[in-house]
Amino acid sequence: MTQELIFLEPVFHQKIWGGRMLESDFGYQIPDGPIGECWAISAHQSGDCKVAKGRFAGMHLSELWSTHRELFGKLASDQFPLLIKILAADDDLSIQVHPDDTYAAQHENGSLGKCECWYVLHAKPGATIVVGQNASSREEFARAVNKSKWGELLNIIPVKTGDFFQINPGTVHAIRGGTLILETQQSSDVTYRVYDYNRRQADGSLRELHLQQSLDVIDYKQQAPTNGTITAIEKNGVTRLVSCDCYTVDRVRVEDTTRLMAHWPFLCMSVIEGSGKVNGQLVARGDHFIAPAGIDVLELTGSMELICSYPPAD
């Protein structure tokens, strides 16, 4: 079994709310236009990353998943379970919500639902974010939408660099302009837009809204957060940000040397600050890679910060 880290080439997506932040901040070579998303570790059909170098260079991650399942702890799922993105918002994203697995399987051609979480890489001074809403029922939410009472309906909170938010299915949410976020999510591209500010696309059309689906999936009993401050204790450089049925996500800070003992089927790793080495291989800010099954110990050296995630074992 390979002891190589699996480095991936990002896939970039143009978005109406995007800009050039992925170029100016991360130094990525991105296409022309307003680029909003970097799909950094993905086997999804809408953005299937290629292996950048090594034994499997040139293969798509979906192909690697299909033909070399031993690299991923022989998980039984028929699709690679996670999708790691960087979202670079020059403007506000739509007000939106995602379904859970059951609803998506029934209404979105067998797709996974979309559970996700956000680690805030940068937020301009005074930036805000939407996480949660204030209606207690489908009927109350629909009335507020019909009357455009967005200020009363939405839970708008300040956001700062280093914040973290877990966005469960059914959570109304929106990233707002001036934020740069690393997102860990299920491998799904199902989004229901509640509101999009009546803005027009390049061809003059409005983007599609999905109010009925949104009303179906919103969790009206959910308690909205008041901030995204991380309260978990850092231990040996590792802070557990979240662990749920879909993924576990850690922040790993390295000063000199940090050792991680494998307890995952495989590990997705994104360098968000600094540079160093992982098992002797050079890595730097903006690199995204997978530590496959069979690597029992990861030795991280240098001065850097990473977001690391993995799915539950079968």
Each residue of 127-160: pLDDT tens digit? 999 999 999 999 999 999 999 999 999 999 999 9
Question: Is-contact 300 276, C-beta < 8 A?
Answer: yes
Catalytic annotation, pick one of 69, 138, 143, 193: 193
Report the alpha-carbon distance of residue 107 to residue 213 in Å, rounded. Answer: 9
Which pTM does this prediction carry? 0.96
Each residue of 178-196: pLDDT tens digit? 999 999 999 999 999 999 9
Handedness of CA 160, 93, 250, 168 (dihedral sign): positive
Name residue, tokens 């469960």. 168
Report the alpha-carbon distance of residue 25 to residue 145 in Å, rounded. Answer: 36
Q: Cα 234 vs. chain centroid, distance in angstroms?
A: 22
Domains of the chain: 6-217 (2.60.120.10), 238-310 (2.60.120.10)
Query: Does residue 176 carry a catalytic annotation?
Result: no
Report the alpha-carbon distance of residue 267 to residue 286 in Å, rounded. Answer: 16
Each residue of 216-275: pLDDT tens digit? 999 999 999 999 999 999 999 999 999 999 999 999 999 999 999 999 999 999 999 999
Name residue, tokens 């730097």. 284
What residue type is assigned to position 177 of the chain? G
Question: Is-contact 155 224, C-beta < 8 A?
Answer: yes
